[in-house]
Each structure stands twice: as C-alpha cells, then as structure tokens.
Amino acid sequence: MTDEAKLAATAEAMAAAGKGILAVDETSPTCTKRFNEFGIESTEESRRAYREALLTAPGAGDYISGAIMFNETIRQSTSDGRPLIDALGATSILPGIKVDTGARPLAKAPGETVTEGLDNLRERLDEYREIGARFTKWRAVIKIGRETPSLYCIEANAHALGRYAALAQEAGLVPIVEPEVLMSGEHDIERCREVTEEVLHSLFEQLASQRCLLEGMILKPNMITSGSECPVQADTDDIAELTLNTLRRHVPAAVPGIAFLSGGQTGEEACKNLNAMVSRGPHPWELTFSFGRALQHPALEIWGGKAGNVPAAQSAFLHRARMSSAARTGAYTPVMEDESPL
C-alpha cells in the first residue's frame, strides 16, 4: 500500500459506518474546569482514572471508531498497568492525539486568536507515531463578535491548519482539521453561516496550496446554529439545511468524513441535528460525530471522582455513544433516550 492509500484507509476507518470519534483531549486546565463544575478534584491520577473509565467502557468500540487524547493521557496506563493506548487497541478504537498547543492572542487583532503549535511539530508527530497514534487533531477558534472575525484572523488560522495537516500527513498520521466557529454570541444563524462559509473557503484554499491529500483527512466543523445568546433560536430543520448547504458549497467530495463537534449543544440537541442532516442524504462524504461534551457530560457528573461510580458512568457514556451512533445512521429519535437503560 502506498503512504497515500494508508492515510486514506485510516481516514475511512475513522468515518466507519455507525461509528464516530470521541474527543477526550481536553488540556489539563480545561479538564480541571470541567471537573470543578461537579466538585471533582483534578489531579494527574483523577484525570487518568476518568479517562480510563471512558476509554475502556465495555463495548465502546461498537460506536466509537477513534479517541482523541491529550499528551498526558496517551502516556498513561490503566490501573492494572497496561498502557492506555494498548487498552484502546484491544477494543479496535484508533488512538489519536491533539497536537496544537492552544489559541493565543493574534498580533494586532484585539480579541482574536491564532492557534499555535507548529514549533517542533515534525519531531512531536514522529514521537506520537512511535507511541502508536494513528491520527491527530488541531483546533482553530473563530469568535463571532460585532467587528470580528477579521479576514486576517481567518486566514492566519487557515494557514496554520494547512501547515499542520501537511506535516501530519507527511508523518503518516491522518489530520482532523477543526476550524471551530464558536456558538457563543448574540449573532443569528445567518451570520454563523456567513462566517463559516468564509472560514471553509479559506481553509480549503490553504489545504490545496499546501498539498494536503483530501482523501487522507477528516474535517471537524461546527454545525451552523444561532449564537447561544441570540433571542431567536433556529430549529433543527434550519440548522440541517444551512449546514448541509454550506458544506456542499465548500467541502470537496474527496474528503471522506465530516465529524461534527458539539460545541456546547446538549447530547440530545447534537444527536437531533446530526440525525436530521444524515436523514437528508445521500451525501458525498460520511457525516458523523466527534463530540466532546455531548458524549461525556452525563458520565462525568455520575462518576463524580468516585471509583465505585465507574460502572454507572460507563453506562451513561455508552448510552450517549449509542444515541450518537444512531444519529449518525439517521435512526435517532428522542424517544430512544428513555428506552436505553442508564
């Protein structure tokens, strides 16, 4: 198999029928924030224990094709001493790694950020591949405000995503390319569509000029929704129509999979919206999920930092994984939420 064919095969496995990607790659400060919301102490050991519970939940591999981890997690082991990455392999979940180092203030653009992490990226990618990673993630953050985003911010982030994607592919790792337009704000859904269009336009221009293999990547976009503080909230039909319309205009059919982030939607909302989009198929690409909060939130609350709660937390996680998998095939209905035992 050529290197290109290997990348394409991995990307296709990440977008496999009925499965999606678990994002459990919160940095330690973000994980601490999420833990604190439920009064859970955040230590290296508590983060390890929580991630072990999710990554080794029995049967998760039926719904989850890949798991994106943080640098700390990919080096950790299960409580019985197996490297977590090996435990994942046993369930056929592909291991992935977040490689950006976060959004930092963009020079001369007050209030806007550019995602960093290109320094020594080639060496870091080689190390992650040696550890066993098969894919990577980089998240750009675009915030909608009265005067933002600027074209400068969109282009700086798209350029960095292109550099990252090319380096990841050169290292034999599939890049998840994530240009997230944040939900937070008072903007309406039309403004979200307009900004997302500009972002995707700039991104695919950069991916082409930086020689990225479209068949060997996964796009991780936001759904097109009303801002979370907008007084008028668009319904599922509008979200599905506008998101699909925008993706059809800007995402080449050569991209094998589009895996949505949840972005602050509840698990139920994210599933309803994904289901509505899948139901309008067939589409040129696989539509799936790469949820963080929408897969984890109930499980984290139930776990609460207590070892005795692990089985119940795993059930809650598996429930959300099963619902997301149903949405990814167009078979989800809200009634299913009550049918599945917790």
d(CA 109, CA 140): 15
23 binds ligand 13P (CB under 6 A): yes
* Choice between 48 and 98, CB closer to ligand 13P: 98
Shortest separation between residue 161's beta carbon and ligand 13P, angstroms = 13
Q: Which of 227, 257, 292, 298 binds ligand 13P (CB under 6 A)?
A: 292
144 binds ligand 13P (CB under 6 A): no
196 binds ligand 13P (CB under 6 A): no
* Secondary structure string (H, E, C) spanning 13-77: HHCCCCCEEEECCCCHHHHHHHHHHCCCCCCHHHHHHHHHHHHCCCCHHHCEEEEEECHHHHCCE
* Choice between 69 and 234, CB closer to ligand 13P: 69
Closest chain position to ligand 13P (CB): 292
Candidates 116-124, 203-211, 248-256, 260-268; binding stretch for ligand 13P (CB under 6 A): 260-268
189 binds ligand 13P (CB under 6 A): no
Are the beta carbons of 121 and 167 closer than 8 angstroms?
yes
For residue 141, give the H/E element and its range. strand 135-142
How far is Cα of residue 185 from the mean position of the Cα atoms in its chain? 21
Concatenated DSSP letters of 231-288: SS---HHHHHHHHHHHHHHHS-TT--EEEE--TT--HHHHHHHHHHHHHT---SSEEE
* Choice between 184 and 209, CB closer to ligand 13P: 184
263 binds ligand 13P (CB under 6 A): yes
Q: Is 112 a catalytic residue?
A: no
261 binds ligand 13P (CB under 6 A): yes
Q: Which of 139, 159, 187, 328 binds ligand 13P (CB under 6 A)?
A: 139
Count the neighbouring beta carbons within 10 Å of the beta carbon of residue 317: 27
Residue 136's SS3 state is: strand
User: Quick one: CA torsion of 231, 233, 324, 321, rounded to 10 degrees?
Assistant: 10
293 binds ligand 13P (CB under 6 A): yes
Residue 96's SS3 state is: strand
Shortest separation between residue 24's beta carbon and ligand 13P, angstroms = 9
294 binds ligand 13P (CB under 6 A): yes
Q: How far is CA 90 from CA 57, 188, 252, in A?
A: 12, 45, 34
262 binds ligand 13P (CB under 6 A): yes
d(CA 298, CA 317): 7
Shortest separation between residue 282's beta carbon and ligand 13P, angstroms = 25
Shortest separation between residue 142's beta carbon and ligand 13P, angstroms = 13
DSSP label at 175? E
d(CA 11, CA 94): 10
Q: Is 178 a catalytic residue?
A: yes
* Choice between 256 and 292, CB closer to ligand 13P: 292
Instruction: Return the residues of window 49-68 that contact ligand 13P according to CB under 6 A.
Output: none
Least Cα distance to 274 among 229, 317, 225, 315 occurs for 225
Please identify which of the residues 52, 112, 155, 178 carries the catalytic annotation. 178
Candidates 32-40, 117-125, 188-196, 289-297; binding stretch for ligand 13P (CB under 6 A): 289-297
Please identify which of the residues 19, 98, 137, 220 carries the catalytic annotation. 220
Give the strand pairing for 113-116 and 102-105.
antiparallel
Candidates 3-11, 45-53, 290-298, 317-325; binding stretch for ligand 13P (CB under 6 A): 290-298
Q: Which two tokens stand for residue 75?
A: 């080096």
The site that binds ligand 13P (CB under 6 A) totals a number of residues, namely: 10
Positions that interact with ligand 13P (CB under 6 A): 23, 139, 178, 261-263, 291-294
Which of the residues are catalytic? 178, 220
